[in-house]
A and B are shown apart, each in its own frame.
Chain A
Amino acid sequence: MTTAVVGTAGIAVRGLGKRYGRSVALEDCTFDLPAGRVAALVGANGAGKTTLLTVLSGLLRADAGRVSLRPDERVAFVSQEKPVYKHLTPVEMLRLGARLNLVWDQARAEAWLTRFGVPLDRRCGKLSGGQRTQVALAVAIGSRPTLLLLDEPLADLDPLARTEVMRELLGEVAESGTTVVLSTHIVTELAGVADHLLLLAHGELLVGGDLDELLASHVMLVGPRAAAPPVEGEVVWDRHLDGQSLFLVKTPSTPAVSAPWVVRPVTLEDYVLAQLSVTRKGGSA
């Protein structure tokens, strides 16, 4: 694999592949992510999200394919485990970040810790999981990244903290034009956060693109039990209850249907869950 730096307006990933022994973690993964976007990386467990983020971070070399970044791209990666040195205090962790980076903003990093009430002089080993997450995020933010990669950033946080962290993060990145790729299981909390979707299944990229465009090109049809929807278009997903059928259909424009059929706009959650359940069926078939 080569990591070429070209003058594209963001990340360009081409044919990325990675294997661990016989198991395939990533296969022929290709997508573009325009600069300044907040991309949600979604997929079932083992879909290859962590591998993709780690390859993008430069910490892992892929077996095949190529990642092109912007010139002078500064990448920060917060891994799933939110690792910090347990015997160091948050202040010492920031000092470590300052020493190992060419660009550092101590005030921003400290402000993050203060904002979330992390005790600055307690050893990280004695902090809660959520507080350690904040320390790892503070180090990433202090390094002033232009590409911020977050693997399950919200997992150890309580619901209130999740909302606040997302809001603060978005504030930070909007101000600096940072591109963000974040993986998560919590699809509901992506609404209003992500503007780009990367959907992985079994190491392959299933869907990649602008979130609004994706959602606008699909509709959910609800009506009486039927074998097929009453409109033209590719059926992405269907579900049949006792007296009712649901179809997720890909269609260029919102179709007109007659009663009793109803057209509903597709939410991010609808879309992601439908795609995931399709790949699960496909995977077990």
Chain B
Amino acid sequence: MTTTLTRPRVTTGDLLRVAWQRHRALVLVSTVLVVAAAVTIAFAGARTDAVLGSLPGFVLRVLWEPRDVNLLFGAAVAVFWGAPLVAREHEARTALVAWGQDVPPGRWLTGQVALLGAVASCLAAVLWLAEVQLVDKIRELSDDRLYQPFTTWFEVAPQLLVSYALFGFALGAATGTLLRRTLPSMAVALVVFGGARLAVMEWGREHFLPPVRTFEPWSDDHRSQVTDHALYVDSGYADANGVPIDYQDAWGCGDRVGSAGQLDCLKANGVAGHYADFQPVDRLDLFRWIEAGVFLVLAAGLLALAWYWVGRARRV
């Protein structure tokens, strides 16, 4: 009697179960940590300002700045989920088992990425649920005084949190696939993830669209040119057409700070007023989608690279 079972194909379900078998401890521990963090954040968000005010400064700093939590979460996904995914298989030589059966390496990787990517996205969503509680409470309690849509509030959007997590995961996976060593891959993934996120945060975001420019000719009536809650980009002197002029020391206007003579000096050099560049608050949602799109495209590219590289079979 034969006990051999034959089937036409290895199903996606099989590949997902293989991935679960391999990563269940990591997934469970990560889930517990993220849920614990989310509960803490949401709990803090549900307190009154009196309770929040009595918390130590560093706790407030962590709680009030979802950007830090998001950086940490994405970096953790890159370092602990992405980087070891393929690198560990090479180091432990288990790639020879995983890829030596009837499933080619690319398909095996697809199963692993599908499971872990889905879980990472769910954890990102859990984090978002907690953060949105907190920032809404802060906005309510501060009567909009603390509402900073392009900084603290910007990243509290599900599409962004998911895109950061997937970018981190893809970056780690691609690094591990190329370097084949876990620790160096972790280090490279951490540095590149931090660099990419901070670069977009500090220099990229404000340039997603050309900013709105306002021009104010000289007048006695001072008022802010930047609309409420907008993202400030740039400001300075401008000529009569609203074209920015760089202040030059050679004009010698700096010696007459605050005096009426200073204004005359500037006018004499063609400065007709003041301009400001900013991104108005009604672009908030659009900017969130643009940033999410940037990181999702990067993630897709990195995963394609990893997929191509594991199938190359130039070394084992």
Give a binary string over A147-178; 1 marks a CB under 8 Å from any B CB, 0 the rest: 00000000000000000000000000000000
B21 at interface (Cβ–Cβ under 8 A)?
A: yes
B208 nearest CB across to chain A (Å)? 43
Complex Cα–Cα for A83 and B316 (A): 13
Output the residue of B3, B15, B100, B315 with the most chain A CB within 10 A: B100
Distance of A136 Cα from B100 Cα, bound (Å) = 11
Does B55 sit within 8 A of A, measured CB to CB? no
CA distance A247 to B103 in the complex (A): 51
- Chain B's closest residue to A76 (CB) is B100
* Pairs across A and B, CB under 8 Å, 8 listed: A58-B313, A85-B22, A85-B92, A96-B21, A101-B10, A103-B102, A136-B97, A143-B102
Does A95 sit at the interface, judged by CB under 8 A? Answer: yes
Q: Give every chain B residue within 8 A of A100 (Cβ-Cβ).
A: 10, 14, 18, 98, 101-103, 108
A100 to B105, CA, bound (A): 11
Out of A61, A83, A103, name the residue touching B96 (CB < 8 Å): A83
The 4 closest A-B pairs by CB, nearest first: A100-B101, A107-B3, A83-B93, A99-B14
Residue in B18, B92, B316 whose CB lies within 8 Å of A96: B18
Q: How many residues on the A side are at the interface (Cβ–Cβ under 8 A)?
A: 36
A112 at interface, CB cutoff 8 A: no
Smallest CB–CB gap between B142 and chain A, Å? 48
Residues of B contacting A77 in the complex (Cβ-Cβ under 8 angstroms): 96, 100
For residue B93, which residues in chain A have a CB less than 8 angstroms away from its CB?
A: 79, 81, 83
Question: A20-B315, A106-B3, A108-B3 known; A84 and B97 CB under 8 Å?
Answer: yes
Determine whether the beta carbon of B314 is less than 8 Å from that of A61. yes
Q: Which residues of B contact A84 (CB under 8 A)?
A: 94, 97
Please name all residues of chain B whose beta carbon is closer than 8 Å to the beta carbon of A59 when the two chains form the complex. 96, 99-100, 313, 316
Residues of B within 8 A of A218 (CB): none
Known contacts being A20-B315, A103-B4, is A86 close to B92, with CB within 8 Å? yes
Chain B nearest CB: distance from A112 CB in Å?
13
Residue in chain A with minimal CB distance to B313: A61
Chain B residues within 8 Å of A61, by CB: 312-314
Q: Per-residue CB proximity of A87-122 to B under 8 Å, as 1/0?
A: 110001001110111111111100000000000000
Please indicate the chain B residues that have their CB under 8 angstroms from the CB of A136 in the complex. Answer: 97
Residue in A closest to B4 when the chains form the complex, CB atoms: A105
Residues of A within 8 A of B7 (CB): 102
Interface residues of B in 77-120 (CB under 8 A from A): 92-103, 108
Q: Are A54 and B316 in contact (CB under 8 A)?
A: yes
- Chain B 106-147 interface 0/1 with A at a Cβ cutoff of 8 Å (1 = within): 001000000000000000000000000000000000000000
- For B, the interface residue count at a CB cutoff of 8 angstroms equals 34
- B6 — which chain A residues lie within 8 A by C-beta? 102-103
Min CB–CB distance B65 → chain A (angstroms) = 36
CB A255 to nearest CB in B, in angstroms, measures 47
Taking the closest CB of chain A, its distance from the CB of B93, in whole angstroms, is 4
Task: Report the Cα distance A108→B4, complex, angstroms.
Answer: 9
CA separation between A77 and B102, bound complex, in Å?
12
Q: A54-B316, A61-B314 are in contact. Are A101 and B101 (CB under 8 A)?
A: yes
Which residue of A is nearest B98, CB measured?
Answer: A100
Complex CA distance for A101 and B8, rounded to whole angstroms: 10
Residue of B nearest to A108 (CB): B3
Q: Is A226 an interface residue (CB 8 A)?
A: no
Given known pairs A61-B313, A76-B100, A87-B25, the reply for A99 and B4 (CB within 8 Å) is no
> Counting chain A CB atoms within 10 Å of each CB, which of B3, B7, B8, B10 scores highest?
B3
Q: With an 8 A cutoff between CB atoms, is B59 at the interface?
A: no
Determine if A139 is an interface residue (Cβ-Cβ < 8 Å): yes
Please give, as numbers and ranges, the residues of chain B lying within 8 Å of A107 by CB-CB distance.
Answer: 3
Selected contact of B9 from candidates A86, A102, A143, CB within 8 Å: A102
Say if the beta carbon of B197 comes within 8 Å of chain A: no
Contact B3–A88 (Cβ < 8 Å) = no
Task: Report the minimum CB–CB distance from B94 to chain A (whole Å).
Answer: 5
Q: Report A-chain residues with C-beta under 8 Å of the C-beta of B3.
A: 105-108
Q: Take A99-B10, A102-B6, A108-B3 as given contacts and tell me if A88 and B21 are in contact as well, using a CB distance cutoff of 8 Å.
A: yes
A6 in the interface (beta carbon within 8 A): no
The complex places the Cα of A86 from the Cα of B25 at a distance, in Å, of: 13
Asked whether, in the complex, the Cβ of B92 is within 8 Å of the Cβ of A83, the reply is yes
A228 to B258, CA, bound (A): 112
Q: How far is the CB of A272 from chain B (nearest CB, A)?
A: 27
B-side contacts of A79, CB under 8 Å: 93, 96, 100
Assess whether A250 is interfacial by the CB under 8 Å rule: no
Closest-CB distance, A150 to chain B (whole angstroms) = 12
Q: Is A144 an interface residue (CB 8 A)?
A: yes
Verify if A5 is at the interface (C-beta below 8 Å from B).
no
| Cβ-based interface call for A30 (8 A) | no
Check if A254 is an interface residue, CB within 8 A of chain B.
no
Cα of A103 to Cα of B9 in the assembled complex, Å: 10
User: Which residues of A sit under 8 angstroms from B96, Cβ to Cβ?
Assistant: 59, 77, 79, 81, 83
In the bound complex, how far is the Cα of B97 from the Cα of A97, in angstroms?
Answer: 9
